[in-house]
Structure 1
Amino acid sequence: MRVTPRVWMGLAIWAAYVVIIVVVTLLSGVPFPDIGTSADSTWRGAVMDLAVGAAFLIIVASILGWWRPALFERHRSHHKWPIFVPIIMALAAVLNLVNTDWSQFDTSFLLSLIALGVLVGFSEEMMARGLVLTAFRARLGEGWVWFLTSALFGLMHLVNAVLGAPLGSSIAQAALAFASGTAFYILRRVTGSLIWAMVLHGLWDVSVFAVGHAPLGAPLGAFLGPVVGVLSLATVYWVIKGTDEKVTPAREPVHA
């Protein structure tokens, strides 16, 4: 790493990312409730801000030299069985996709959903459970790293109220984001890579937007969301136990 991680750096990255998302979304002129209702609203209201956020995170990770610790664990979790929780989440996403009336989506709409999935999976995971997690591991125990990264991930969703979403639903979404963020954290710890969490995160968001816009019937996958959250909180201890993922200081240049 070029720069030694510090807790304040993680907080700064989180704050800067949230500001970018809010400002670009406000400039788009698309109210939050309209995002995902058409190709245009999805491109302007979600894809654009995530693309700018992704560019910011790529630049930061490259300048700091944090790519490896952000994307990969030094040691995988000793307990592998908690992976059943993100597996249930993946099945719930598939149920959402199966219960979606895809005839209501034209090519542009489908492409916007794919772009949304790729960018939200990369950006939100790289921010919360990538760079912020790396910064927090410099000084904090892993239990605090899990809790604070998940809490900041949930808190980030409160800004939806600023973008036009009802405050009550924004608070509920923030709570669910804390729990789903825990599922993504479990997936990172068990597999040893953030990449799988990025894939699951993108798949989940696409499925929620798709079934929300054109449901064929009862969105069965949505009912499993709270279940996944409860199971995540009940099992996360087992992927934290025995963890030794504290980052090492950046090496000083050697002079002859």
Structure 2
Amino acid sequence: MRVTPRVWIGFAIWIGYTALVVGIQSLSGISYTAWGDSAANLFFGAGVSLIIATVALALTTSALGWWRPAMRERQRSRHRWPIIAPVFFALLALVNLLLTDWGSYDLPFLGASLVLLLVGFTEELTARGLLLTALRSRLHEGWVWFLTSLCFGLFHLVNILLGQDAFVTVEQVIFAFLVGTAFYILRRVTGSLVYAMILHAVWDFSVFAVAYGHPSELANIVTAVVPLAGVIALIAVPFVIRGADERLPRPVPSAGASATS
């Protein structure tokens, strides 16, 4: 690694990512609640910020030299069964996609909505990639899970600034913490962030897709089941934390440096 991980660097990246995305989305002048009105609203309201953030995060990760610790676990969880939590969310995403009114999608809107898949890369790399790597330089794995999931949830508070109702936003923050816990479990069990990126992208896309056009009333059932899936994740997460040895070793000064200090 070119730069030694520090906790403050992780939080600086999280704050910087949040400011970048919200700043670009605010400059578009398009309300969060109006993204689904047209392909142009969706692309300029959300897509442009995700494209720019993807490039910025890739450059940042390369400059720090953190790709390996950000993307891979040194040691996978000894317990595999907790993967049922992210699998549960994957099944809910599949149900969303099956209930989606695909007839309402035209080609431009479909193309704009596919850009939303980048959120899996950007938000996972920020929270459960770079922030996680930074936190592991000092903290126990239990705090790493909690703080990465909390920051992931709190990121969604900015939707208030983009025009979303405050109560709905707080609800979204809580759901994001629960879903983020499932993404953390998926990283620990598989040993790779890639699977969490994929599930995150599909989950967000499915939630947006099922609400577009003429939403099926059955979609409300999926929304009602999300807390249950989140509870399963909370029950399972201690088992992937237990025995984790992911704290990054602190740099050891060379013999020459010790002799002169």
TM-score between the two structures when normalised by the length of structure 2: 0.93
Contact 1:3 1:250 in 2 (8 A): no
Q: Which amino acid aligns with 2:130?
A: L
Q: Which amino acid aligns with 1:44?
A: F
Distance in 1, Cα, partners of 2:177 & 2:20:
21
Q: Residue 152 in 1 paired to residue 151 in 2?
A: yes
Match of 1:17 in 2: 17
Task: Provide closer, same or farther for how the CA distance between residues 250 and 3 of structure 1 changes in structure 2, counting only shifts above 3 A.
Answer: farther
Distance in 2, Cα, partners of 1:39 & 1:252:
55
Residues 145-224 of structure 1: matches in 2 within 5 Å?
A: 145-214=144-213, 215-219=215-219, 220-224=221-225
Distance in 2, Cα, partners of 1:98 & 1:254:
62
Distance in 2, Cα, partners of 1:213 & 1:233:
30
Contact 1:89 1:224 in 2 (8 A): no
- Which range moved further: 167-176 or 126-135? 167-176
Contact 1:208 1:222 in 2 (8 A): no
Q: How many residues align?
A: 254
**Unmatched runs of 5 consecutive residues or more in structure 2:** 257-261
Contact 1:2 1:64 in 2 (8 A): yes
Match of 2:98 in 1: 98
Task: Provide closer, same or farther for how the CA distance between residues 29 and 254 of structure 1 changes in structure 2, counting only shifts above 3 A.
Answer: farther
Q: Residue 133 in 1 paired to residue 132 in 2?
A: yes
Match of 2:235 in 1: 234
Deviations 1:126-147 (A, max 9, x none): 0000000000000000000000
Q: Which has the larger radius of gyration?
A: 2
Distance in 1, Cα, partners of 2:226 & 2:54:
26
Distance in 1, Cα, partners of 2:158 & 2:241:
29
Match of 1:7 in 2: 7
Give the Å deviation of 1:253: 9.7
Deviations 1:199-254 (A, max 9, x none): 00000011000101132332043232211111111110000000000123468899
Q: Which amino acid aligns with 1:45?
A: G
Residues 62-141 of structure 1: matches in 2 within 5 Å?
A: 62-117=62-117, 119-141=118-140
Residues 32-71 of structure 1: matches in 2 within 5 Å?
A: 32-71=32-71
Distance in 2, Cα, partners of 1:82 & 1:127:
23
SS in 1 for 2:145: helix
Give the Å deviation of 1:166: 1.0
Distance in 1, Cα, partners of 2:41 & 2:253:
48
Q: Which amino acid aligns with 1:229?
A: G
Distance in 2, Cα, partners of 1:19 & 1:138:
24
Identity of aligned residues (%): 50
